[in-house]
Amino acid sequence: MFGRHHFEPLSLSNESKGYACYLPSVRVLRDFYLRFIGPFQDHTAILSARVVQVDHSLKVSKHLGKLNSVPNLAAFHASVKEHCESQFLVMIMRKFQRKIIAMLGAFLNFLETYRQRLVKASNDNRNDIDPEPDPTLVLPSDSAIHVLSSVQQVNARLKYIMNKIPGDKEFYVAIDTEWAVDPHTRIAGPTALLSMTFGREIILIPLVKYYRGGKLHLPRMLLAFLRAPNIRKVGVRVSADILRLFRDCGFTLENDAPFSGALNLGIIAKEAGISTSAGIGLFELCIRVLGRFLPKDPGITISTEWELDPLPDEHIRYAALDAYATWAVFKAISTLTIGKRVEKNKTPPGTRISLLSTDYSDIIAFGQISLDQPSEHGGINISKSRILVNISEVVQPEHRVSVNPPSAVQPEILSSFGPAPFTLVCQVRHLRVRAHISDLPLMPQSASPPTKIKKLNQASEKQ
């Protein structure tokens, strides 16, 4: 009996009842296994887990120990936590190497004897080590969140902003929207919140109160703001967000002025060489561009509470952080030359570069444009489409490069050039300018003090 399931035991061969000498089929054995293991899988599926790294190697085992020049182990399986603390080590022994059993027994005795002492030493060593900076993206401590809760507040604030914009100049603002989603049916409601920022001030505009008769009736200055083509609305898939907002108002492209000025952050990232897809999300952009983790609480992301008035504080901070993350990514990309194509005779020597794969999908090496650009190197003519590069770091050593001596039958793999640094002739079209880390905007290194949320009311507005 396993759990609630009962199985008839195998009987003797001379008994007339039961299985006798019958051998169960593969299907019977599979069903038995699934019923047996099912409750355990259900239990383990709901257990909490930390990040675990797993590696199965057939190479490491060859170097762990040999007997008469023959490896003792066939394979080596290891698992570690996020701090490289060993979870388990599995060493698969070859059948004919029986002498290794004594060695493994001594190894286990060693662990049993010194385990507590090793753990204590490990913890003691950590006391003098400064912890790594928290990689989580947080709002700057001097940022301010303003929740505009009335038509007068929205009109006054946006009118002030638009009056400061020169008529012939473009003004950039990060835009994000939120809407309610039923966690059970996954049915999404209309746009419930519009958030925007262009610096330290983050403006949130709840929209639920502006719905009448199933249509969204936006304040006059907000409509002008959304329709102004010189106000560039930057965001991830912002074109879809603005179109959704446009349709929530009951507008049609045939009869009404469109909401214009959308600037999709995914397209900018793709053109900069940060992503191969324009559909990249904000979470991934924060990691690639800012080196920060953008927290996403599923209980807030998929929630019907976006339609509450007033909004809960945790939803306000969630929306504000998304808007700030969009702005921070946009500023980082726009102020760097990262991802721009290398132009021969224009991109200066010494420029840090990334070498892309032939299909432009991955970075395979890093380096700098060589100070010397001779007409020939290693039997390769350096034409207009080629450039000499000093490779300082190889990311994918087994990747094949496309520029080789004419006598080569196949492209050579990067590892065949030896350890970095080395000089390589590359196709100009495969190079992208790489950013200096010091050029990146400074992100908060740890959790900042709670940013004040200012929910404006009629009294404060008159003052």
Same domain as 315, residue 225: yes
The answer as to whether 439 is a domain residue is no
**d(Cα 158, Cα 50) in Å, to the nearest integer?**
45
Domain-terminating residue out of 97, 126, 155 = 126
Alpha-carbon distances of 406 from 38, 265, 402, rounded to whole Å: 60, 42, 11
The answer as to whether 346 is a domain residue is no
Same domain as 94, residue 21: no
Same domain as 365, residue 244: no
Same domain as 163, residue 24: no
**What is the model's pLDDT at position 190?**
94
Domain-terminating residue out of 83, 98, 126 = 126
| Residues near 334 by beta carbon (within 8 Å), at least 6 away in sequence | 268
**What is the model's pLDDT at position 431?**
85
Same domain as 427, residue 312: no
| Residues near 344 by beta carbon (within 8 Å), at least 6 away in sequence | 384, 385, 387, 428
Range of the domain at 266: 144-337+451-462
- The DSSP letter of residue 241 is H
Averages of pLDDT over runs of 10 residues in the chain (463 residues) are 55 59 70 76 60 65 62 71 62 60 59 50 48 72 91 94 84 94 88 93 95 94 94 93 95 93 87 76 87 88 92 94 94 70 82 79 80 83 86 82 54 80 86 57 36 51 39
Provide the CATH number for the domain around residue 196. Answer: 3.30.420.10
Same domain as 402, residue 305: no
3-state DSSP assignment of residue 190:
strand
Q: With the CA atoms of 269, 271, 272 and 277 taken in that order, what torsion angle do they form, in degrees rounded to the nearest 10?
A: 40
The answer as to whether 192 is a domain residue is yes
Same domain as 299, residue 188: yes
The answer as to whether 443 is a domain residue is no
The answer as to whether 185 is a domain residue is yes
Same domain as 120, residue 178: no
3-state DSSP assignment of residue 109:
helix
Same domain as 411, residue 320: no
**What is the model's pLDDT at position 131?**
47
| Nearest partner of 422 among 393, 445, 391, judged by Cα | 391
**What is the model's pLDDT at position 83?**
53
Domain-terminating residue out of 93, 126, 159 = 126
Same domain as 227, residue 94: no
Same domain as 330, residue 356: no
Same domain as 213, residue 177: yes
Number of domains within the chain: 4
The answer as to whether 441 is a domain residue is no
The answer as to whether 151 is a domain residue is yes
How far does the chain reach from its first CA to its final CA, in angstroms?
Answer: 77
**d(Cα 373, Cα 134) in Å, to the nearest integer?**
43
The answer as to whether 115 is a domain residue is yes
